[in-house]
Each structure stands twice: as structure tokens, then as C-alpha cells.
């Protein structure tokens, strides 16, 4: 798979704890918002414990972000997750953060599946792989 045909979208409200003293979202919190969107995507596919299944874990192996405009205290934002590439051991997602139609942040994340004991790469379970890839076709 090389191009995704669907997107997952998660609404998030910006609270005081997400911001700096000026009411602007702290830059690292966008990574947390993106993590939540990926986690809720997996939950929407029927996997209630997205970080740990049958002795596996998902870890971020690469990430890249571009900031366009800040979110502010009490903003309602939405965070998207779109599968752009999938293999049994790794998958890549493009993610965006919007306030209404305004693009605030865009990013790319590569996630690897590892064995929870050895911490070595391991293929994700076939049902999970199929659910993930089929949700974007």
C-alpha cells in the first residue's frame, strides 16, 4: 500500500495544561495529540489496548513535524491520521492538526512493531494488519 484513501479524525479541546504561560499550545504537545489520534484509530478498529497486544508493542521510530500556526487555549482542534504506507513490521502515517479548516501542524510518523520482551522488530498480528490496511482502502 502506498496511498491512503481515508482518514481518521479526532476532536480535541485545548486546556490550560496544554499551553504555555501565554496560552499557546506547547510545541511538544502536538506529538501527544497525534499519539492520541493513532491510539483512537486502533481502538476504532477493535483493538482496545493499542500499545500492547500479545507480547508486542508499537514504538515511534521516526517523526517529522512542520508548524504553521499555533493553537490557543480553549481552541477546538481536530487531529487526523492517514495511513500512507504499511508493512507487517512498520507503518507510516501522515497526520495533520486543524482548527476548523486552518492547517496548524502537519507531520509524518513511522511506527514499528516490536516484541515486548526482546524489544526486537516483530510483525504485527495478521488480523491487526488487515484491519489497519483495509480501513484505508
Q: In order of start, what are the domains of the chain with their CATH numbers?
A: 8-134 (3.10.129.10)
- How far are the Cα atoms of 4, 105, 132 from residue 85, in angstroms, in the given order? 8, 20, 11
112: alpha, beta or left? (left if phi > 0; alpha if psi -120 to 50): beta
Cβ-based neighbours of 13, under 8 Å, separated by 6 or more? 74, 75, 76, 77
pLDDT at 47: 87
Give, rounded to a whole angstrom, the gap between the first and last alpha carbons of the chain.
9
pLDDT (0 to 100) of residue 49: 73
Say whether 75 is catalytic.
no
Render each residue's pLDDT in the chain as its tens digit; 137 residues.
Answer: 334 447 999 999 999 999 999 999 999 999 999 999 999 999 998 888 765 667 899 999 999 999 999 999 999 999 999 999 999 999 999 999 999 999 999 999 999 999 999 999 999 999 999 999 888 87
The structure's pTM equals 0.91
Of the candidates 28, 10, 31, 6, the one whose C-alpha atom is nearest the C-alpha of residue 19 is 28
The Cα 108–Cα 113 span in angstroms is: 17
Burial of 119 (C-beta count, 10 Å sphere; 0-12/13-18/19+): exposed
Rounded to 5 degrees, φ, ψ at 126 are -55, -45
Q: Sheet harboring 76-86: ordered strands across?
A: 8-13, 76-86, 90-99, 102-115, 56-67, 52-53
Q: Specify the pLDDT at position 4.
A: 41
pLDDT at 80: 98
Catalytic: which of 18, 20, 48, 101?
Answer: 20
pLDDT for the residue numbered 17: 97
Amino acid at each position: 500500500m502506498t496511498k491512503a484513501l481515508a482518514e481518521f479524525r479526532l476532536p480535541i479541546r485545548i486546556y490550560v495544561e496544554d499551553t504555555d504561560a501565554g496560552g499557546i499550545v506547547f510545541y511538544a504537545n502536538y506529538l501527544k495529540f497525534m499519539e492520541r489520534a493513532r491510539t483512537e484509530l486502533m481502538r476504532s478498529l477493535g483493538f482496545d489496548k493499542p500499545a500492547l497486544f500479545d507480547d508486542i508493542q508499537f514504538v515511534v521510530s521516526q517523526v517529522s513535524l512542520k508548524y504553521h500556526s499555533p493553537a490557543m487555549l480553549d481552541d477546538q482542534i481536530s487531529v487526523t491520521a492517514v495511513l500512507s504506507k504499511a508493512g507487517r513490521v512498520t507503518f507510516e502515517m501522515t497526520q495533520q492538526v486543524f482548527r476548523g479548516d486552518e492547517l496548524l501542524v502537519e507531520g509524518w510518523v513511522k511506527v514499528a512493531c516490536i516484541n515486548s520482551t526482546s524489544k526486537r522488530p516483530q510483525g504485527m498480528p495478521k488480523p491487526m494488519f488487515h484491519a489497519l490496511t483495509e480501513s484505508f482502502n
